[in-house]
Amino acid sequence: MKIGPYTILKDIGTGTFATVYLVEDRQGVKYALKRLHPMLKGSPSSIKMLQREVRINKKLFSRHIVQIQEYQEYKTDEDIAHCLIMEYIDGVDLGQYIKQKGKVSPEETIILAWQICQGLMKAHEKNIFHLDLKPQNVIVDKNGIAKITDFGLAMAIGLSAVNLSKIGGTPAYTPPEIWNGQVADNRSDLYSLGIIMYEMITESPPFQGISTSVMRQHLDAKPIFIRDVRTSTPHKLALLIDKLLEKKPEYRFQSTQEVLIALEELAASRGINPNEIKDQSLHVKAKLGVKQQLTKVYQEILLIIGTNIIFWLSTLALREEEILNHPHL
Ligand SMILES: Nc1ncnc2c1ncn2[C@@H]1O[C@H](COP(=O)(O)OP(=O)(O)O)[C@@H](O)[C@H]1O
Ligand SMILES: [Mg+2]
């Protein structure tokens, strides 16, 4: 099946607003195409949100944020498809990752949280708050690089804010101040990061149930201390997560930089360095680069041989024509 110039190769994910497909263009370049659910196509606010997502995303360049190319509308057989064209991340979202893997080790939790925080820092520097941070909106690629996606509910100073109380994020990850209708800010994303880390360690977010019960728990209940769920959790990591999960934003870490410092200290105490992980994956990429370069050289050689053969054949044909039409032959 085709959408505009893109051929759909497979379905890679479905979210609240859209389905995401792996597609390729006429040149065979792969992209992720996010198509608004057809039932939402009559809703101007959903279309506006999709367009807004591109505008916000265009302000953010980070290795830890999925990049969006453009918004497009394509006519299909039945109706119009409202789409975002994004870079394709070959991997799984963190929700699937936790499901497949089970409990994540403290070391990997620290590394993944550090990477998410790097992406968040870029957004927060521009006064953009994600406000729908959850495992399904973080994609982990084949090299273990985490990338934040879906700034569809993000709030940006200078851009009209989405009415969160109406649309809502996902209850399990939504901080108390949003349930309270208070102002959300960078620290709201840090609370959601805390829930994600809790889930990585224990396999489940701390508050579960129907959404009114989840809301009440976010507002009033203290999460079960993470070491009571998984006793092997390093004490300092448990305290870090506890601080991210403070009900009052002023008691949490105040910035992504503060969280990054705490995570780096924790990583050092466990003999790991998130930056080194980054370098390793870069190394894998560099290796891939060499392979790709070789393929390119082969392609070029083939092209040269090919054009030479065509040239040679056409000269032959001309010679033949010349010989056939020669008056003296
Ligand atoms: N660029 C991408 N590359 C690979 N998979 C993606 C990409 N973007 C999204 N996905 C997958 O599709 C799912 C839904 O995408 P998302 O943008 O979160 O849609 P929604 O706004 O409906 O929640 C994600 O949870 C993820 O599994
Ligand atoms: Mg999503």
Q: Are strands 2-3 and 30-36 parallel, antiparallel or unpaired?
A: unpaired
The model's pLDDT over 172-204, given as tens digits with 9 standing for 90+, comes to 999 999 998 888 999 999 999 999 999 999 999
Question: Which positions are annotated as active-site residues?
Answer: 132
CA distances to 153, 217, 224, 250, 285 from 212, in Å: 21, 9, 19, 25, 46
What CATH number does the domain located at 91-284 have? 1.10.510.10
Cα(2)–Cα(24) distance, integer angstroms: 10
The pLDDT of 6-20, averaged and rounded, is: 94
Q: Which atom of ligand 1 is nearest to the CA of 92?
A: 27
Q: What is the pTM of this model?
A: 0.83
Give residue-wise pLDDT tens across range 302-329: 544 544 444 444 444 444 444 344 444 3
Closest ligand relative to 57 C-alpha: 1
User: 2-87 falls under which CATH superfamily?
Assistant: Phosphorylase Kinase; domain 1 (3.30.200.20)
Domain assignments of the chain as residue spans, ordered by start: 2-87, 91-284
Report the separation in Å between the CA atom of 285 and the middle of ligand 2, taken as the mean of its atom positions: 27
| Cβ of residue 135 lying under 6 Å from some atom of ligand 1 | no
Ligand 1, from 20, 68, 170: best to mutate by most atoms within 8 Å of Cβ?
20
| Count of Cβ atoms closer than 10 Å to residue 297 Cβ | 10
Contact 87, 67 (CB under 8 A): yes
Is the minimum distance from the CB of 66 to ligand 1 under 6 angstroms? yes
Give the integer Cα–Cα distance in Å for 289 and 68. Answer: 23
How remote is the CA of residue 206 from the centroid of ligand 1, in Å?
24
| Cβ–Cβ < 8 Å for 187, 243 | no
Place of tokens 């805390």: 194
